[in-house]
C-alpha cells in the first residue's frame, strides 16, 4: 500500500508508524529475496519451442465482430430478463 492515508492501517503494531515513500518501497522490494527471485525469472529468455502456438493470440481481438455482437446481445437480454419486473412496473405506473 503506497497511499499515505492507507499505509498506517497496515503497519505492524509494535513499531511506531513511519511513512514509506514509493522510491523506498521499490528499493526495498528489489533488495528483498522475492524481488531478486522475480528479477532472475524475468531475465531468463523464453524458450519458444516449449510454448504452445495456440496459447497466444496473434490478432488484436480474440473474437470476430459477429461473436462479440452475439455476446453483447446475450448479455443485454439477460439483464432485461433480470430487470423485467422494473420495466413492467414503470410501464404500468
For 6-37, the pLDDT digits (tens) are 888 888 878 888 888 889 999 999 999 999 99
Q: What is the pLDDT of residue 56?
A: 66
Q: What is the pLDDT of residue 23?
A: 93
pLDDT in tens, 59-89: 667 788 899 899 999 999 999 999 999 989 9
Residue 62: helix, strand or coil by DSSP?
A: coil
* Residue environment code for 33-45, b if the CB has 16+ CB neighbours within 10 A, otherwise e: eeeeeeeeeeeee
How would you classify residue 61: left for phi > 0, otherwise alpha for psi between -120 and 50, otherwise beta?
A: beta
Q: What is the pLDDT of residue 53?
A: 67
Amino acid at each position: 500500500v503506497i497511499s499515505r492515508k492507507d499505509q498506517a492501517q497496515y503497519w505492524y503494531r509494535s513499531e511506531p508508524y513511519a511513512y514509506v515513500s514509493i522510491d523506498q518501497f521499490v528499493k526495498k522490494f528489489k533488495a528483498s529475496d522475492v524481488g531478486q527471485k522475480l528479477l532472475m525469472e524475468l531475465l531468463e529468455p523464453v524458450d519458444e519451442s516449449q510454448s504452445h502456438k495456440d496459447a497466444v493470440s496473434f490478432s488484436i481481438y480474440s473474437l470476430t465482430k459477429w461473436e462479440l455482437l452475439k455476446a453483447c446481445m446475450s448479455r443485454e437480454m439477460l439483464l432485461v430478463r433480470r430487470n423485467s419486473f422494473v420495466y413492467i412496473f414503470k410501464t404500468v405506473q
